[in-house]
Amino acid sequence: MNQSGNPAPETTFQGMTDFGIQVLLVDDQRIIGEAVREMLAGEADITLHFCQDPTRAIEMANQVGPTVILQDLVMPDIDGLTLVKFFRANPATRDTPMIVLSSKEEPKVKAEAFAVGANDYVVKLPDKLELIARIRYHSRGYISLLQRNEAYAAIEQSRQHLADQMEAAQKYVRKLLPAPLQGQLATSWVYVPSTELGGDTFGYHWLDEDRFCVYLIDVSGHGLDSALLSVTVMNVLRSRSLPVADFGQAGKVLGALNEAFPMEEYGEKFFTIWYGVYDRRTATLVYSAAGHPPALLFEGNATRPVPLECEGPMIGAMPWPEFETGSRQIPAGSRLYIYSDGVHEIHKTDGEDWEFDEFIDFMSSAGDASRTLPERLLEQVRQLNGSDVLDDDFSMLEIRWGSDA
């Protein structure tokens, strides 16, 4: 901890703060405090703070900055539901997840607890695995919120210098993009933001030693709010901060994103996404898409691509029961292209629009082997547009499988 008593933040990925899981338990019974401490003793990344005096709960919360609060409902000196209200009225704990603890299952009390601001209700004491799972689940969501707010605050501080701000935001997004990979599974990409800064981001990482995850996100609109939402979604995928058991299940990942990012809670912003997972044990790619252009797969030495598309609405636009999942065998020597609509929705200098079929024809044409296909496409788009300044972000990701993949 630092001198103020707050948990000392640990700098992590690209300047984002790792707040750590901090649990504040408020219960007048010391035996409960010791029982919870014993449950969490083996969890190195979880720090427990125990407050036995409920009248000091707000003060202690302000000091330790909990990522989740466990609070008993029956305590002397203060009613548990009233204390929940106090926590919600306190600026420092207004959004902190709260799990209320009760000695029995009472629907009326449970309803009242949720009505005043509780996030969860547990009959104490729960099973150890259940308690740890709930703590992690609620903390992950709150930490993501803190990190998102941190990013907003950092950008807001420089709003008075709009040009510098845009340049800094572009550099920030670019720094988050993954480094190209070499080997039997190789990647390259081109990312050129528009002057207004759009909402394109993409990423890839190994889920485990055999499964490779890749995705591209395109948030509606332009400006800092679109860019920040896009970065937030990317960080959620990278940190796997969704209630999904297996991030290799593409359709379920998109379903969880749709529940986590309703557009009415994010400035009426929605986004499209293409998400795929390649398993090198079976040479199989499973994928799903939400309102996104189809990825283009050139199988082996094929000169025309196979579109990999799935039906589904844009994320956040509406509730959706299940996102479609596709599957495709990947022959050795194949190439996959994932892109945003800014690479093909081009207004040409003659006033006409570049047709999608024309885009496919260009992707299928032979070109300068000294440059990647995304680089050649960017040059073509600039020529069609008549300017190096594009109306939308240009984002294209290329995945290549070696001849022995």
In 3D space, the residue among 21, 16, 229 whose CA is nearest the CA of residue 131 turns out to be 21
Work out whether strand 295-298 and strand 335-339 pair parallel, antiparallel, or are unpaired: antiparallel
Longest dimension (CA), the chain: 79
Q: How many other β-carbons are positioned within 10 Å of the β-carbon of residue 390?
A: 20
Query: What per-residue confidence (pLDDT) applies to 6?
Result: 45
Query: Could you tell me the two tokens for 140?
Result: 């992950």
Query: Could you tell me the two tokens for 370?
Result: 């000294």
- Render pLDDT for 67-101 as a digit per residue (tens, 0 to 9): 999 999 888 888 889 999 999 999 999 999 999 99
Let me know: does 232 contact 16? Beta carbons within 8 Å. Answer: no
Query: What per-residue confidence (pLDDT) applies to 67?
Result: 93
DSSP assigned state of 179: P
- Render pLDDT for 179-213 as a digit per residue (tens, 0 to 9): 999 999 999 999 988 767 778 999 999 999 999 99
- Render pLDDT for 304-316 as a digit per residue (tens, 0 to 9): 999 999 989 999 9
| Distance in angstroms (rounded) separating the CA atoms of residues 94 and 61 | 11
Residue 166: pLDDT band with limits 50, 70, 90 = low
Q: Does the pLDDT of residue 148 top 90, yes or no? A: no
Query: Could you tell me the two tokens for 209?
Result: 């030693």
SS3 322: coil
Query: What per-residue confidence (pLDDT) applies to 156?
Result: 67
Average pLDDT, the chain: 88
DSSP assigned state of 353: B
Q: Does the pLDDT of residue 365 top 50, yes or no? A: yes
Mean pLDDT, rounded, for 159-169: 60
| Distance in angstroms (rounded) separating the CA atoms of residues 322 and 288 | 11
Query: What per-residue confidence (pLDDT) applies to 222?
Result: 82
CA distances from 111 to 116, 117, 121, 134 (A): 9, 10, 10, 19
Q: Does the pLDDT of residue 161 top 70, yes or no? A: no
SS3 356: helix
Residue 103: pLDDT band with limits 50, 70, 90 = confident
Work out whether strand 68-72 and strand 21-26 pair parallel, antiparallel, or are unpaired: parallel
| Distance in angstroms (rounded) separating the CA atoms of residues 159 and 152 | 11
Work out whether strand 98-102 and strand 68-72 pair parallel, antiparallel, or are unpaired: parallel
Q: How many other β-carbons are positioned within 10 Å of the β-carbon of residue 211?
A: 18
Residues forming a β-bridge with 286: 277, 327
Query: What per-residue confidence (pLDDT) applies to 3?
Result: 36
Mean pLDDT, rounded, for 366-381: 84
Query: What per-residue confidence (pLDDT) applies to 17?
Result: 66
Residue 387: pLDDT band with limits 50, 70, 90 = confident
Q: Does the pLDDT of residue 266 top 50, yes or no? A: yes
Q: Does the pLDDT of residue 367 top 80, yes or no? A: no
| Distance in angstroms (rounded) separating the CA atoms of residues 395 and 405 | 26
pTM for this predicted structure: 0.60
In 3D space, the residue among 152, 119, 125, 142 whose CA is nearest the CA of residue 19 turns out to be 142
Residue 124: pLDDT band with limits 50, 70, 90 = confident
Let me know: does 290 contact 256? Beta carbons within 8 Å. Answer: no
| Distance in angstroms (rounded) separating the CA atoms of residues 93 and 37 | 22
Query: What per-residue confidence (pLDDT) applies to 388?
Result: 85
Mean pLDDT, rounded, for 152-179: 70
Domains, the chain, in order of start with CATH, read 10-149 (3.40.50.2300), 162-401 (3.60.40.10)
Give the rounded percent of residues in the chain with a pLDDT score beyond 90: 67
Region class of 258: left (phi > 0), else alpha (psi between -120 and 50), else beta: alpha
- Render pLDDT for 5-45 as a digit per residue (tens, 0 to 9): 444 444 444 455 667 899 999 999 999 999 999 999 989 89
Query: What per-residue confidence (pLDDT) applies to 111?
Result: 92
